[in-house]
Chain A
Amino acid sequence: MQLNESIYLSSENWYTVFPTINANYQNENPIQAPAYYTVSNYNYGCIYFGAKQNHIPWNRPIDNSICYAGSYGESPINNWKYARLSEAPSEINVINLGFSADTKNNVSFSHSDNNIILNGTLNTSSNTILIFDLAHDATSSTQFQSNPFSRTGEYIISPTNNSNIRVQLYGYNNDLQLVNLYNSSSGGTVNIDLSYSYYVFRLWIAGNSSFNNYSFTCKCVLKQERSVITDNAANGEDAGIFLAISPTESFYSTAGDGIAQRFAYYNDIATASGRSKCQYYSIPVTRYNYKDVVFVIYVECSDTITGAIRTYDLNTYKNSYATIYPIIRAFYMRPYIGNPDNGYNRRYYFNSLRYEPTGGVNDSSLTCTSNMPFLIPNNFNIPASVSTSESIFYMYGFGRITPKSGTLFGISGVLNMANSAGMDDYSFANELYQCNMHRITEDFSYYVDGYNVRTVYNGSLDDIINICAWFGFPFTESQYIAETASVENIQSEKLHIPIIENGYITGRFLSGSEANELPNISWGEDFRDKNEYDGEEAEKFNMETELRPNNLAASSPFTYQYIIEPSQIQELKDFLYTTITTDTDETELFQKFLTNNPIDTIVSLCVFPFNVEDYCNWVAGEHVITGNVDTGIIAKGLYSGLVVVVDGGEIRYRDKYKDFRSYEPYCDAEIFIPYHGSIHIAPSEMLGHTLGIKYIVDICSGASIALLFRDGLAIDSISGQIGGALRLTGIQTASYHNSVYQANATLKQQKIGLATQTASFGVKVLNAPLEAFKSKDVIGTISGLANSAAGLAQSAIEVNKTEYQLNHVQIPYKAIGANTVFSSMGNEQFCRLILKRPLMLNKYDAAIYGHTKGFACCITDKLSNYHGYTEIQSIDLSDIPCTNEEQKILESLLIAGVYL
C-alpha cells in the first residue's frame, strides 16, 4: 500500500516530549528543553476516535491535538478519508512475532527478532517440553467476521539443524489442541485457522541434548484485506464515523508478562542514518453513528504514588473517592456503544488486543484485534540502538492496554511502565521512546520507582473534562449516563457535547439541555453534509489569528526588568532614601552617588493584576541594578517574553430568541473588557460563535491591547493599560550630596580663610601700640585695625552662614510614575458580554399572532407542506385549467393571505 506522505508527513513531525526523570523518585524535571524532544514512537493500541472534521495541518499548534487520531492534530476521520481515497482496495501487512527468553531446564533462550537461539544442556531422562507463547489473539473469529476485514495468515517455522528439537503449534479454544508438529529438519508452514482463539507454540526437546547456538526462526505472516467502507460503491467515499484501532505491535511476552507490548518494526530496512523504519498502517475498522457513542471518563487513582490503583468513573470518583484516593495516576475514556433511543442501552466492550494468559479472549464490539495495521507515516525512524534491543523497546503510551482495561486511547496519560522490565537496561539520560500526549505530559509528573515510572496527574478534575472535549464525541463523567442517557434530547448536566465549528473540534462543549442546540446531536448515519465540512482542506477555513508574544518591549535593551515582591518595595524605598554619612567611603560615594541619582535611573514600577511570572521567562536571584548601582535587592530578573499574551476567557454567544430579535437593530451588544473599555459588536456577526479576549501586554510599560476573537480569528481590538505605574519617590541623592559636598568645601575654605584672618588680626593687635608710636597716623593705624576686625567679623559671619546652609541643604525629592489604573483594579475583572434585547408588548400571544398574521419567512416550498395562515410572494398557476380572471383572483388571494 502506498501512503500519501504529503498527507501523513514525515517523521520529523512526530515529536513527543519525554520527561527527564529524577531517579531518586523524588521530583520531576520539567519538560521544556528541546533536547528532550525526540522522535516519538506512535501510540499503539489506541483507538482512534474522532468526529469528522477538517484536515488539520500538521503545523497546527499541538495544544489542539488531543483529538488524536492522526498525530498532533490530525483528524482521524480525515486521515481515513485521505487514506481511503489514495490507497488500494486491499492491503497486506506482515507482522513478525518475537519470543521470550526463558531459562528453564538449563537451556537458555535468547532471541533476536524472530530468531530463537538455544544454548545449554538438557539432562533429563525423557523428552521435555518447553513452552513459549505467541501472544496474540489474531485468530479470534468474532473479531474478523464482524468487521470489514478479512484475514488469513500462516505461521512459518524455519528448518532446524538439530534433530532433538521439534516445535509444536497448538491452537487454543477451551483447551490446547495440537495443530502441527514442525519437523526439525524441514520446518514448515501452517495456515492460521480462525476458529482458534489463539495459538501457543511449544518447544519439544529430546532429553540429554546439548545445544550450541541452535537457532531457528519463527514468524507469523498475517494477511489482512479490508473492504472499503463506503456510502455507496459508486463514489467510494467514506461515510459516518469511523472507529479505528491500532494494535499493531507484535506481542512479545511470556505468560506472566502478557501485557508487555512492542512496536513492530522492520529491522532489515536500515537507513543511512542508522535508523530502522517502522511500518504501520491504520485503517478504520467500523463505524457508528455519532449518537451511538458516548465516552465515559475514568480515573485511575491511588492513596499513594505507589499504592494500588483503583478505577472509577469520574463522577463516582468525585463523589466518593476523591479524598480516599487523592492521587490521580491516569485518566482515560471508554467508548460506550449503543443508543437508548433505539432501545439499546450503551455498553462498553473490551477489546481483546492480545492473548490473555489466564482469562481467555475478550470479545470486542469494536472489532479491534492484534496486528491490525494502522496508518501512520511509513518512514518512522527509530534509532538502531533501540530497534535492535527488543527487551527495552516497550511502547507505552496514551492508552494503557491491559487485558482487563479494554480499549483505551489517546486521552489517557498513562505511561504505565509498571511491567516494563527492561527499563533499567536503558539509560534515562538517553533517548527514550514514550507515547505521551504533550498536553497530558505537561499535566503529569513522573516518578521513577525502580523499574517503574509512576505518573501523577497535577491538573484539576474540571480540566480533565475540558481535555476530553477535544475528542469531539459526546462524553460524560458518569457511566450510568453513558449507558442510559439520550443524545436526542439531552437532559443531564453530566452529558457533554463538544462544539464543532466549521468542521473543527474546538475543545469546548455544552452540557445538559443547552447542548440540544448543537448541530452534532442531529447528525445521523451520514453527517457529512451537516458538519460544515465540505471535503476541502482546512487551510481554507483555518481562520485563526496567530499571536506572537516575543521579547520585544517598549523599553530598549538597555533596561532591566525585575519582578519584585511587595516587601521588596520597602527595601527599594529605603535604598532610594539613602543618604551619605560622614563615614561613607569616598570611593563608594563617588561610584554610587556622585555620578547619578538612583531615582533617575528608575524608569517605572508597574503593578500588574496578574501573575507575570506565568507568562515570562525569568531567573531568580538577580541583583536589582539601578544605573550602575547595585541596590542589594535580590529579585527575579526578566529576560524574555516581555510582550505576553494573556487569555481573558471566552464565552459562547448564544441566541436566546432564535429569531430576528436577536439581531440588530433590535438587539444591541457590547463586550466590556477590564482595563480597556467596551467594544460594540454586531450580533449578526457574532451570534453562535465563541467570543474570546486575549490581552497583549507590554510588561515594561503596562500598555496593552485587548483582542476580540471570534472563534480563532481576531476581529477587533482596543487599547488599554493593564499595568499601572506606582508613584515612586526618592531623594536625588547624588544632587543632594553634591550640594552637601560643595557646601562642605565652601565651609572648609571659609574656615581656613577665617583662621588666617584671625591669626593675622592677632598679630596686628599685638603690634598696634608699637605701630602707633612709630606712626604719625595713629588714627589710621587704629582704623586699619578696626577694619581688620570688621573683616574678621564678616568672615565669621560667612562661615556661620555657610554652616547654616550646610546644615540646611535642601533635600531634592523626585517622584516618578502616577498611581494609575487602580480604579480599574476595583472594577469588574471579568470580561462581560452585555446584551440589550427587545421585549414584546404586553399580552402578545404568539399563537394568535401566527394564526392571524403568520410568521415572517422566505421559503420556497410546496403549499401543501404548510398549514394555517399563509402568505405568498408569487406562484406559477399557468397550467391550471382556469380562466385568466380566475387565475388572477386566485393569485391575488394567495398573496393577500389564505388559510391552508
Chain B
Amino acid sequence: MLITLYSCNADRKQCDKTSFLTAIATVNATPTKVFNAFSPSFSLDYNENWVSANYCYIHAPLNKYYFLSPPNLEIGKKIEFAGSEDVLFSWYNYYKDKEAIILRSESIGKPSYIPDNSLPVNPVAFEMESIKFSSSPFIGNGRSYILTTLGGGN
C-alpha cells in the first residue's frame, strides 16, 4: 500500500493539519499484521530519513490520516510503524460545514454573556463604582418652608 510519511507538529486536537505537515516521502509499505484500518501497522525498508515520521497518509483505498507511534527499528533491515487513525483530519472535509451547537470557542474573543465558571474571577476582590444621576432637585439654593395650619376662617 502507498503511504506518505509526514512530520507533523500540530496538536492532536487540531482538525485541519494541512499547514502543520511536512512531507518526508511517499513509499510502499507492507502490513505487518492482520490489517486494521483504524490502527494499522506496517513495515518499510530502512531509511534513516523516515525514522522521524510521526504522521502518515495511507492512500486509496483508505485515504485516511494516521498518527504514527515511534517506530521499531531493525538496523539495516526494516522500520516498523504502528498507527492510529486521526479522525479529525481524515473526515475534516465532511464535518467542517456541519452545524453544531457550539459551547465554547476561542473565536468569541472575550467572555460572553453566558456564565463561565472557569473564568478566573477573583472571588474576594471587587471594583466599586458610584455613578451620579443626571440631576437632582435637591441641589442649589432651592429651599421651601411650608407652614400648615388649621383653618376655620378668620
Interface pair A857/B102, CB less than 8 Å apart: yes
Task: Give residues of chain B (53-69) contacting chain A, Cβ–Cβ below 8 Å.
Answer: none
Q: A834-B128, A841-B120 are in contact. Are A872 and B102 (CB under 8 A)?
A: yes
Size class of A's contact patch? 35 or more
Q: A563-B144, A834-B130 are in contact. Are A882 and B91 (CB under 8 A)?
A: yes
Give the Cβ gap from A605 to chain B, nearest Cβ, in Å.
Answer: 5
Q: Scan B99-115; emit 1 where CB is below 8 A from any A CB, else 0.
A: 11111111111111111
Query: B49 to chain A: which residues have CB within 8 Å?
Result: none
Select which of A613, A657, A844, A882 is within 8 A of B144 by beta carbon: A613
Q: A660-B113, A839-B122 are in contact. Are A899 and B100 (CB under 8 A)?
A: no
Chain A residue nearest in CB terms to B120: A841
Give the Cβ gap from A634 to chain B, nearest Cβ, in Å.
Answer: 12
Interface pair A651/B133, CB less than 8 Å apart: yes
Given the complex of chains A and B, what is the CA–CA distance between A650 and B137 in angstroms?
12
Given the complex of chains A and B, what is the CA–CA distance between A873 and B105 in angstroms?
12
Query: B38 to chain A: which residues have CB within 8 Å?
Result: 883, 885-886
Query: B146 to chain A: which residues have CB within 8 Å?
Result: 561-564, 604-608, 612, 638, 699-700, 702, 723
Given the complex of chains A and B, what is the CA–CA distance between A563 and B103 in angstroms?
65
Task: Give residues of chain A (604-640) contacting chain B, Cβ–Cβ below 8 Å.
Answer: 604-614, 623-630, 635, 638
Interface presence of B13 (CB below 8 A): yes
Give the Cβ gap from A197 to chain B, nearest Cβ, in Å.
Answer: 50
Query: A601 to chain B: which residues have CB within 8 Å?
Result: 149-151
Interface pair A860/B102, CB less than 8 Å apart: yes
Give the Cβ gap from A640 to chain B, nearest Cβ, in Å.
Answer: 14
Q: A836-B127, A869-B105 are in contact. Are A609 and B143 (CB under 8 A)?
A: yes
Q: Scan B115-127; emit 1 where CB is below 8 A from any A CB, else 0.
A: 1101111100111
Select which of B16, B112, B131, B147 is within 8 A of A855 by beta carbon: B112
Size class of B's contact patch? 35 or more
Give the Cβ gap from B67 to chain A, nearest Cβ, in Å.
Answer: 12
Chain A residue nearest in CB terms to B131: A833
Given the complex of chains A and B, what is the CA–CA distance between A872 and B132 in angstroms?
43
Query: A868 to chain B: which residues have CB within 8 Å?
Result: 105-107
Task: Give residues of chain A (868-900) contacting chain B, Cβ–Cβ below 8 Å.
Answer: 868-877, 880-883, 885-886, 889-890, 893-894, 896-900
Chain B residue nearest in CB terms to A835: B129
Interface presence of A268 (CB below 8 A): no
Interface presence of B154 (CB below 8 A): yes
Query: A897 to chain B: which residues have CB within 8 Å?
Result: 13, 104
Interface pair B135/A647, CB less than 8 Å apart: yes
Task: Give residues of chain A (548-562) contacting chain B, Cβ–Cβ below 8 Å.
Answer: 555, 558-562
Select which of B112, B130, B137 is within 8 A of A647 by beta carbon: B137
Give the Cβ gap from A499 to chain B, nearest Cβ, in Å.
Answer: 13
Interface presence of A832 (CB below 8 A): yes
Interface pair A862/B99, CB less than 8 Å apart: yes
Task: Give residues of chain A (369-418) contacting chain B, Cβ–Cβ below 8 Å.
Answer: none
Interface presence of B18 (CB below 8 A): no
Q: A839-B122, A839-B125, A871-B105 are in contact. Are A561 and B147 (CB under 8 A)?
A: yes
Interface presence of A773 (CB below 8 A): no
Given the complex of chains A and B, what is the CA–CA distance between A661 and B113 in angstroms?
8
Query: A874 to chain B: which residues have CB within 8 Å?
Result: 100-101
Chain A residue nearest in CB terms to B107: A866
Select which of A613, A700, A723, A833 is within 8 A of B130 by beta carbon: A833
Q: Scan B70-88; emit 1 where CB is below 8 A from any A CB, else 0.
A: 0000000000000001011
Given the complex of chains A and B, what is the CA–CA distance between A723 and B130 in angstroms?
26
Query: A899 to chain B: which residues have CB within 8 Å?
Result: 11, 13-15
Interface pair B101/A623, CB less than 8 Å apart: no
Given the complex of chains A and B, what is the CA–CA distance between A833 and B134 in angstroms?
11
Interface pair B149/A603, CB less than 8 Å apart: yes
Interface pair B102/A866, CB less than 8 Å apart: yes
Q: A855-B111, A857-B114 are in contact. Are A867 and B144 (CB under 8 A)?
A: no
Query: B142 to chain A: which residues have CB within 8 Å?
Result: 609-611, 614
Give the Cβ gap from A888 to chain B, nearest Cβ, in Å.
Answer: 9
Interface pair A560/B136, CB less than 8 Å apart: no
Ranked nearest first, the 10 interchain pairs of A and B with the lowest CB-CB distance are A868-B106, A854-B104, A649-B133, A611-B142, A659-B111, A612-B144, A856-B116, A875-B100, A855-B108, A649-B135
Extra inter-chain contacts (5) besides given A563-B146, A608-B144, A846-B111, CB under 8 Å: A649-B133, A830-B135, A835-B129, A846-B110, A860-B99
* A-B contact list, 9 entries, CB within 8 Å: A558-B151, A564-B146, A659-B113, A700-B146, A834-B130, A838-B126, A840-B121, A854-B108, A873-B101
